[in-house]
Amino acid sequence: MKKLHQPSCIPIAINKHAHYSYSIEKEFEAGLLLKGWEVKALRVGQVNIRESYILVHSKEAFLIGSIISALYIVSPYMQCDERRARKLLLSKQELHVLSNIIQRHGYSVIALSMYWKNAWAKLKIGAGKGKKQYDKREEIKERDWKLEQRRMIKKFIVT
């Protein structure tokens, strides 16, 4: 039998609000330490990382604020905490860089996306500074102007 080519990175959840609220300067890829019921819930896509952030404490990194909803088929004797802190698997060098970034004034580390890389659940995290309201307005104006330019070019080419 011939194996079909499968993409190496299949998205589970994407934090679309992250790039709107933060100017991301550096990105990292981290593994997740998960329980069995959490992996099953990820396969179904019952995860929300919109309000999650990364906390570095005593040379370990944790994902705080993410919600992984338990499936209805999970055994009744298991206690499923949807909002528990999940440990991130990073190298010592990456942890050192993250702790230095967090110590700088105004910088945050947030979750950008969660995806499957082969059989492993991975989390893309970004370090950046929060945007001010006027930065967000400028971004919206720039996006609208680019859209208007494309419309004008399309109208000019068609006629």
Chain-wide mean pLDDT for the chain?
A: 87
**Model confidence, pTM:** 0.78
Report domain extents, the chain.
Answer: 9-131
Among candidate residues 54, 132, 112, 111, the one with its CA nearest the CA of residue 87: 54
Specify the CATH number of the domain 9-131.
2.40.280.10
Question: Angle CA(79)–CA(125)–CA(96) in degrees, nearest 5?
Answer: 100
Q: What is the pLDDT of residues 16-32, one digit of tens each?
A: 988 888 889 999 999 99
Region 75-84: mean pLDDT is: 79
